[in-house]
Structure 1
Amino acid sequence: MAEAQRQKTVVVGAGPVGSLAALYAAQRGHEVEVYELRNDLRDPSTTPLNFTKSINLALSTRGITALQNSGNDTLLDHVFDATIPMRGRMIHGRRPSGELYETAQDYDAHGRTIYAIDRAGLNGRLLDILEQLPNVTLFFNYKMTGADFRRRKAWFEVQDGPKDKKASDAPRERLPEIEIDFDFMIGADGAHSPVRHHLMKYVMMDYQQHYIDTLWCEFQIKAQTPEDVPGDDKDAAFRAKFAISPNHLHIWPGKDFMFIAIPSDDGSFTCTLFMPAAEFAHLEATQDDGVTLPAFFDCHFPGVTQLISPADLIASFRRNPHLPLISVNCKPYHFQASAVIVGDAAHAMVPFYGQGMNAGLEDVRVLFELLDKHATVESNSPAGEEDAASTNAANRALALAEYSALRVPDAYAINDLALHNYTEMRASVLSPTYRLRKFLEEQLSVHVPWLGWATKYSRVSFGNERYSEVVRKSEFQGRVLLGGLVGTVGVPVLSGLVFLLMHRRKVTGFLGSVARHAKYIAVWAANGFKR
């Protein structure tokens, strides 16, 4: 009997999530084709979609677990070689006396860390691995223009247009287009996903996108030049490259905006200013004076101008775009057995929980676990190739339906958490109430571990619980803590108030009696004490 034809899986998008999806499919023996709109992402000259580097990535347990399960033994070790552990936040500010301060807030009472990672490095490693696999083909500069998910066909425009500016200004001729067939398509093509756009024509998809009133702009704290470090002390030499602690996410919080800095392994920090659009517009209108922007930073982000020169601040503000932040929710994520969307294509989120990439990588792990669960293995099946393909498609349809049902509530949950965490990062980190709850939850986690208590952040970043379950448990813990505080503080206070009220009644009665008797005595005295 002829060998069964391998399943053809097409992945649209060669970012970290799409590349990992291609690796998972390739490890299962699929014939994999990856189509990417941009040039080879390993080429330093490739312009990212946002025309800037990106908000630095934080790799946490969910992403690590997905990489571990990829089937490639060297991937995780290579990734960790270029990461920096971050054990918590470092909050920067100025005291009323004018003195600068920084206060560390650990992420986890058990000492666990998240990892700062360079997106390009992770992406490059994944693409290197894919390129070496015989059943994977990479296509760069291919723009998806159409898809028929019933017939399992797609069309891509080959972006091989002119490179020089003069030629690009000329009227563009229609670019060549190719048609491809596939058994299964995975859309990992970002927040403005063409795969999702075409999927909407085949399913009744609920879709919502929301831009928050915040723009972001990128800056950089440059690496230091180490001096007077012993040649054999590699750790000291490494740390000497950093102007501030390399093991923290640095935050300059403000009421309506914030500035953050995330370390890179070359000693620099990628920094991001998050601020309402109106504030950006004001600074854009006044930036030519060369004074307003540094003064703004000195006022709201004390100490930054000692780390980034005023000239560099102004240059970055002028050169780097001021970009919006989008949040996307939709459902379902699939159509029959033909197509599914993952990562930002399914649930783009604001970056304030550091879970965008981690959630996307987790999507891939969960998706393929479900595909494996529903797959039918028939080593001695008498069925023909056509029957086997039909069975595989039916099983894949069941897996995709379960994937949508499972991941949609989790995506909605982490999207909401990411939005709420913006308030926490720019304001709540300074709140005594926030710090008290964090302290109580951490103490319960450390000293009464059998209760299973944990902070919401640790559940999100250091575990693989479903996001929706994390929210449910966190809300339960909040109610218990509130009830405990009411019981611990409120009951004694309430008892005291009851006692005072009762005592007041007695005192009031006694004083009233005295007043009445005093009046009687006064009248009696006026009558010469005669009855």
Structure 2
Amino acid sequence: MESVEGKPRIAIIGGGLVGALAACYFGKRNYPVCIYEYRSDIRKEDSRGQSIDLALSRRGREALRGVGLEDAIINHHGIPMRGRMLHGRDGSLKEIIYDPVHKNCIYSVNRRHLNVVLLNAAEKYSTVDFRFNVKLIDANLEEGKMKFLNTKTQGIEEESADLIIGADGAYSTIRKIMLKRPLFNCSQTYIEHGYVELFVPSRLDGKFAMSGNHLHIWPRGEFMMIALPNDDGTFTGNIFAPFSTFEKIKTPQDLLNFYDYQFPDLISLIGEKKLIKDFFKREPKTLISVKCKPYHLGNKVLLVGDAAHAMVPFYAQGMNTGFEDILILDELMTEFNSDFSKVLSKFTERRSDDAHAICDLAMYNYLEMRDLVTRRSFLVRKNLDTFLNKFFPKSWIPLYATVHFSRMNFRQCISNKEWQDKTIQKCLCYFGLIVFTIISTLLFTKFA
């Protein structure tokens, strides 16, 4: 990396979604940037990579808007999902709209397509370079020195930078190196549930076999199946279940029996042969949640995205939160005139506890999606929130809307939900007291 007008050299470890977006923002500020990615260039080699389609909402959209990419994703690729479509065992359907009042929606986005768009955008900045097929194996973070293994030549290469951005995912090498330092706290939790990716093909005419404007959910209490629409008329689906459930499905007949009872409509949509082929193609994958603090080391290192706060995918905020990281970093660079000694520490201060909160919310939403959505109490509360939001749009905003359709910090989203719960409880108590008083008065009058 060559110096540009004396500006610090930036090394971004990880060329995934968050790393590529970070490169765009630093490139926009004319910083010399190099992305180091252990995989091959996905634009040249057709690699599936990580599964689970993405749901893009406001936090991610604003981050894309900052580098002029929102329109390319929203209007030329993303598929709007206006709500959840719940599938019962008997084939019944129930729609739950995300935002009946303001008509906001989230967008289904293909991970690979978005990564390609971001890499192409980063490449347009003359100060941004790429190094593919290089795996970080060690680093002296205080001095900004890094050691890479070239996975093609098996040679060792040494590089240096003034600022290292760790955007290398849930199993971050940068984070592992930071673990050796005192006062760095980190915890990781594997949930006892995994997932298998499946696909719902399009109809013979190329159209969607189900509604193309919903996130489809088959809630079954302890486990669930979801499916997100793709722009080619197919759906990318995932079954999330305890590993103990997967262990019971050992043969094709076990699988067909399981789906015939739990998801009978999907057998006809997917087809028995394709279902068997896709299900047994790979072992169930794990789901991990990571919390750590601080996110920075002096003015030399910063963790962002999954490297800082990996979360389970059930609130669809992993990508959006990672993108918002970069947006917040850019806002802090403006606020503190790109003084990294202040910017990085403020990033940790502003972001770490907030990211812990969304990790917890993501865990909670799994319970909601696989179980609570089928309960009458959930639907009653959903309708009540919609009614109050309609008449008090600025003061009563449902939890889902604050997370997906605002940039309210996640801790405040939780506090707002707790305040709403207490308010409803008080109102119910007052209502009960009034009813009790009326009944008592009538009885007293009758027998007096």
TM norm structure 2: 0.95
Q: Judging changes above 3 Å, is the alpha-carbon distance between structure 1 residues 29 and 300 closer, same or farther for their aligned structure 2 residues?
A: same
Alpha-carbon distance in structure 1 between the residues aligned to 2:417 and 2:43? 41
Q: Say if 2:405 is the partner of 1:479.
A: no
Q: Say if 2:12 is the partner of 1:17.
A: no
Alpha-carbon distance in structure 2 between the residues aligned to 1:463 and 1:453? 13
Shift of 1:485: 2.0
Alpha-carbon distance in structure 1 between the residues aligned to 2:95 and 2:4? 61
Q: Say if 2:385 is the partner of 1:441.
A: yes
Equivalent of 2:253 in 291, 316, 319: 291
Amino acid at match of 1:101: S
Alpha-carbon distance in structure 2 between the residues aligned to 1:322 and 1:127? 29
Q: Secondary structure at the match of 1:303?
A: helix
Equivalent of 1:353 in 315, 318, 324: 315
1:396-434 Cα distance to aligned partner (Å, 9 max, x none) = 111111110111111111001100000100111111111
- State the match for 2:127 in structure 1: 135
**Which stretch shifts more, 399-408 or 202-211?**
202-211
- Structure possessing the higher radius of gyration over alpha carbons: 1
1:414-456 Cα distance to aligned partner (Å, 9 max, x none) = 0011000001001111111111111111111112335x21110
Amino acid at match of 1:337: N
User: 2:208 touches 2:233 (CA, 8 Å); kept in 1?
Assistant: yes
Alpha-carbon distance in structure 2 between the residues aligned to 1:59 and 1:125? 14
Alpha-carbon distance in structure 2 between the residues aligned to 1:348 and 1:206? 15
Q: Secondary structure at the match of 1:291?
A: helix
Alpha-carbon distance in structure 1 between the residues aligned to 2:66 and 2:45? 29
Alpha-carbon distance in structure 1 between the residues aligned to 2:258 and 2:89? 14
User: 1:202 touches 1:335 (CA, 8 Å); kept in 2?
Assistant: no
Alpha-carbon distance in structure 2 between the residues aligned to 1:265 and 1:30? 35
Q: Say if 2:320 is the partner of 1:319.
A: no
Alpha-carbon distance in structure 2 between the residues aligned to 1:277 and 1:221? 23
Shift of 1:502: 6.4
Equivalent of 2:110 in 118, 124, 127: 118
* Alignment map for 1:68-467 (pairs within 5 Å): 68-70=65-67, 73=68, 75-80=69-74, 81-95=76-90, 100-109=91-100, 110-161=102-153, 175-226=154-205, 241-284=207-250, 287=251, 290-375=252-337, 395-450=339-394, 452-467=395-410
User: 2:168 touches 2:174 (CA, 8 Å); kept in 1?
Assistant: yes
Alpha-carbon distance in structure 1 between the residues aligned to 2:78 and 2:84? 17
Alpha-carbon distance in structure 1 between the residues aligned to 2:273 and 2:299? 55
Shift of 1:493: 4.1
User: 1:413 touches 1:468 (CA, 8 Å); kept in 2?
Assistant: yes
Alpha-carbon distance in structure 1 between the residues aligned to 2:232 and 2:328? 34
Alpha-carbon distance in structure 1 between the residues aligned to 2:302 and 2:291? 15
Q: Say if 2:64 is the partner of 1:63.
A: no
Q: Secondary structure at the match of 1:197?
A: helix
Shift of 1:44: 4.1
1:148-167 Cα distance to aligned partner (Å, 9 max, x none) = 12212111111105xxxxxx
Amino acid at match of 1:351: P
Shift of 1:32: 0.3
Shift of 1:498: 4.7
- State the match for 2:34 in structure 1: 33
Alpha-carbon distance in structure 2 between the residues aligned to 1:345 and 1:60? 21
Alpha-carbon distance in structure 2 between the residues aligned to 1:132 and 1:346? 27
Alpha-carbon distance in structure 2 between the residues aligned to 1:43 and 1:403? 35
**Which stretch shifts more, 431-440 or 329-338?**
431-440
Amino acid at match of 2:437: S
Shift of 1:13: 0.4
Query: RMSD between aligned alpha carbons?
Result: 1.9
User: 1:326 touches 1:348 (CA, 8 Å); kept in 2?
Assistant: yes
User: 1:35 touches 1:142 (CA, 8 Å); kept in 2?
Assistant: yes
Alpha-carbon distance in structure 1 between the residues aligned to 2:157 and 2:201? 45
User: 1:145 touches 1:157 (CA, 8 Å); kept in 2?
Assistant: yes
- State the match for 1:491 in structure 2: 433
Shift of 1:302: 3.3
Alpha-carbon distance in structure 2 between the residues aligned to 1:47 and 1:252? 25
Alpha-carbon distance in structure 1 between the residues aligned to 2:190 and 2:4? 51
Q: Judging changes above 3 Å, is the alpha-carbon distance between structure 1 residues 200 and 397 closer, same or farther for their aligned structure 2 residues?
A: farther
Amino acid at match of 2:393: P
Shift of 1:500: 8.7
User: 2:9 touches 2:163 (CA, 8 Å); kept in 1?
Assistant: yes
User: 2:62 touches 2:70 (CA, 8 Å); kept in 1?
Assistant: no
Q: Judging changes above 3 Å, is the alpha-carbon distance between structure 1 residues 3 and 329 closer, same or farther for their aligned structure 2 residues?
A: closer
Alpha-carbon distance in structure 1 between the residues aligned to 2:254 and 2:180? 50
Shift of 1:147: 1.1
Q: Secondary structure at the match of 1:324?
A: coil
Alpha-carbon distance in structure 2 between the residues aligned to 1:47 and 1:463? 31
User: 1:42 touches 1:120 (CA, 8 Å); kept in 2?
Assistant: no
Shift of 1:486: 2.1
Shift of 1:464: 0.8
Shift of 1:128: 1.1
- State the match for 1:170 in structure 2: none
Shift of 1:200: 2.3
Q: Secondary structure at the match of 1:179?
A: strand
Amino acid at match of 1:150: E
1:327-350 Cα distance to aligned partner (Å, 9 max, x none) = 001101000000000000000000
Shift of 1:364: 0.5
Shift of 1:131: 2.0
Q: Judging changes above 3 Å, is the alpha-carbon distance between structure 1 residues 300 and 94 closer, same or farther for their aligned structure 2 residues?
A: closer
Amino acid at match of 2:401: S
Shift of 1:492: 3.5
Q: Secondary structure at the match of 1:329?
A: strand
Alpha-carbon distance in structure 2 between the residues aligned to 1:198 and 1:184? 15
- Give structure 2 stretches of 5+ with no counterpart: none
Q: Secondary structure at the match of 2:6?
A: coil
